[in-house]
A and B are shown apart, each in its own frame.
Chain A
Amino acid sequence: AQKVTQAQTEISVVEKEDVTLDCVYETRDTTYYLFWYKQPPSGELVFLIRRNSFDEQNEISGRYSWNFQKSTSSFNFTITASQVVDSAVYFCALSEDPNTGGFKTIFGAGTRLFVKA
């Protein structure tokens, strides 16, 4: 069965610090998709990134970077030089291959990030 674990419930950092949000997943599929979403205090869900299981290249987008390691079933998210606007709940999610079981996405419980000025 699929499972996504975000062990960090809350993280608090001071502005300009780097912070890494952990995500560990479980799946029996060989082809799957991993996601990160941001939910700011306003409540909407914002898509950040999607990775395919067959593409382990790390990705950098501005101050955001993602480290995908199939060997440890992890898809960690790092924010460099954090800012107050980064304060939000971040969700990691896993989706199975659409050619097998259908479009089902499992979310982790989320990590609440507080960035203090």
Chain B
Amino acid sequence: IAGITQAPTSQILAAGRRMTLRCTQDMRHNAMYWYRQDLGLGLRLIHYSNTAGTTGKGEVPDGYSVSRANTDDFPLTLASAVPSQTSVYFCASTHRDRSCDTQYFGPGTRLTVL
């Protein structure tokens, strides 16, 4: 693989169910992010990870959890999905330092919670 992959591409989920969105990058980037995109609101940061083993909360973290066990993977879990979590979810990664920082985005996961 090259770049960032996300799985699944799309999912319809019943409210109350648990769901994990997967994100994998092969660029050895240290920082990874999860965003949700909703019409009229742009992209909002859910959680981020500066390096493997660390995570932090973004703008809209409630109802979501993440883990960063290694450099490549950054899964996003919805413990008990609710309809307001219907959105398109984008994973991104970058190598953050002062001289070079290009954010690469995955293709997105379209999630519908009924």
Q: Among the listed stretches B20-28, B43-51, B65-73, which one makes contact with chain A, having 4 or more residues with CB under 8 Å of it? A: B43-51
The 0/1 profile, CB within 8 Å of B marked 1, for residues 47-61 of chain A is 100101000000000
Sorting the interface of chain B by its residue count into under 10, 10 to 19, 20 to 34 or 35 or more gives 20 to 34
Q: Which residue of A lies closest to B59 (CB)?
A: A106
Give residues of chain A (50-102) contacting chain B, Cβ–Cβ below 8 Å: 50, 52, 91, 93, 95, 98, 102
Sorting the interface of chain A by its residue count into under 10, 10 to 19, 20 to 34 or 35 or more gives 20 to 34
Give residues of chain B (72-114) contacting chain A, Cβ–Cβ below 8 Å: 88, 90, 92, 94, 96-98, 101-105, 107-108
Task: Kindly state the separation between the CA atoms of A28 and B59 in the bound complex, as whole angstroms.
Answer: 17
Least distance between B41 CB and chain A CB atoms (Å): 6
Across the interface, A107 reaches (CB within 8 A) one of B42, B48, B107, namely B42
Docked-complex contact B90 and A102, CB < 8 angstroms? no
Docked-complex contact B33 and A108, CB < 8 angstroms? no
Which residues of the other chain, A, contact B44 by a CB distance below 8 angstroms? 107
Q: Which residue of A lies closest to B41 (CB)?
A: A109
Which residues of the other chain, A, contact B104 by a CB distance below 8 angstroms? 47
Task: Kindly state the separation between the CA atoms of A92 and B42 in the bound complex, as whole angstroms.
Answer: 9
Task: Kindly state the separation between the CA atoms of A16 and B22 in the bound complex, as whole angstroms.
Answer: 41
Task: Kindly state the separation between the CA atoms of A46 and B59 in the bound complex, as whole angstroms.
Answer: 22
Q: Which residue of B lies closest to A89 (CB)?
A: B42
Q: Which residue of B lies closest to A35 (CB)?
A: B103
Docked-complex contact A105 and B105, CB < 8 angstroms? no
Across the interface, A104 reaches (CB within 8 A) one of B41, B58, B94, B107, namely B58
Docked-complex contact B42 and A91, CB < 8 angstroms? yes
Task: Kindly state the separation between the CA atoms of A105 and B48 in the bound complex, as whole angstroms.
Answer: 10
Least distance between B74 CB and chain A CB atoms (Å): 13
Docked-complex contact A106 and B45, CB < 8 angstroms? yes
Q: Contacts A98-B96, A102-B56, A109-B41 given: A44-B105 contact, CB under 8 Å?
A: yes
Contacts beyond the supplied A103-B96, A109-B41: 4 A-B pairs with Cβ under 8 Å: A45-B92, A45-B105, A103-B48, A108-B42
